[in-house]
């Protein structure tokens, strides 16, 4: 089975996998998810993703469906059963099964799904040429409504609407601002700009999801001696940047070519962007191996 689903301990082909109709995420968006890449039979940043997942479960008041170590092993074992060397893991944990908004209606342990699939968000040509991005009218959810560090399933309705708006303009991505008008993130990616040799990205308090790939790129930049600043950025900062790029588990690291029809910098991937893409490509070789005989 190259593509498969582990659901509460049972494995089935992706095409025939099922979840309960009264799953609380299906009914109310009451669940968490992680998207995780694996490359050359190694899972990239597995522990960082799992830590965020367990932090989210504690915050939302989920019962713990299994120990951290058991969850980690389940992901590794499921990857080992799939006939894929490179791919994408979708890990969902929902509050459980039960009809009614009140969490007390859920009488089961949380439902856990581990999907092994493939995902190519952007084409090789887009990775080479860069994305044309538009500013959308949809704002990120404010932190006093839902903490942006939660990778909550229900939170993404606004991002989907922003992506739909970008699609209607034939753009590669949509940029979302916060309620104060500062740059937050794209619909599924974090954003970085380069100006005068300094790497800049929105401050976490701007309402962003602090992405695992975002954190990885910041660390790679610091290792290379690049100054990194987390700041309050506006549209003006983006359009006056020398370079810009987006990061995310699904997007990886991809150049940004324009915003709202304004070409950024030279209109192609700049030197710092290329440097960090190359460094990221090396970093993904260091993931957690899941096949017997693969060296650590």
Q: Which residues are catalytic?
A: 151
CA distance 119 to 134: 23
Q: Cα 247–121–124 angle (5° rounding)?
A: 90
C-alpha 199, offset from chain centre: 20
Q: Is 129 exposed, middle or buried (0-12, 13-18, 19+ CB in 10 A)?
A: middle
The residue with tokens 């990120």 is 140
């Amino acid at each position: 089975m190259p593509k498969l689903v582990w659901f509460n301990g049972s494995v089935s082909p992706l095409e025939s996998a099922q979840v309960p109709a009264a799953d609380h995420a299906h009914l109310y968006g009451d669940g968490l998810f992680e998207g995780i890449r694996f490359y050359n039979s190694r899972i990239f940043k597995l522990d960082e993703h799992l830590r965020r997942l367990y932090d989210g479960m504690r915050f939302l008041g989920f019962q713990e469906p299994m120990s951290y170590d058991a969850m980690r092993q389940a992901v590794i074992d499921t990857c080992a059963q799939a006939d894929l060397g490179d791919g994408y893991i979708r890990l969902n944990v929902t509050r459980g099964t039960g009809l009614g908004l009140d969490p007390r209606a859920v009488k089961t342990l949380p439902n856990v799904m581990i999907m092994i699939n493939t995902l190519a968000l952007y084409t090789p040509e887009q990775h080479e040429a860069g994305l044309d991005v538009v500013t959308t009218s949809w704002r990120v959810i404010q932190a006093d409504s839902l903490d942006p560090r939660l990778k909550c399933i229900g939170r993404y309705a606004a991002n989907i609407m922003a992506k739909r708006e970008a699609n209607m303009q034939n753009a590669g991505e949509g940029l979302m601002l916060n309620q104060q008008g500062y740059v937050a993130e794209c619909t599924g990616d974090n954003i970085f700009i380069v100006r005068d040799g300094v790497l800049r990205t929105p401050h976490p308090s701007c309402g962003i999801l602090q992405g695992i790939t975002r954190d990885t790129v910041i660390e790679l930049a610091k290792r290379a001696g690049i100054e990194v600043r987390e700041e309050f950025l506006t549209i003006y900062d983006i359009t006056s940047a020398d370079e810009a790029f987006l990061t995310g588990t699904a997007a990886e690291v991809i150049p940004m070519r324009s915003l709202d029809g304004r070409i950024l910098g030279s209109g192609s991937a700049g030197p710092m962007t290329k440097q960090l893409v190359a460094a990221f490509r090396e970093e993904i070789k260091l993931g957690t191996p899941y096949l017997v005989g693969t060296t650590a």
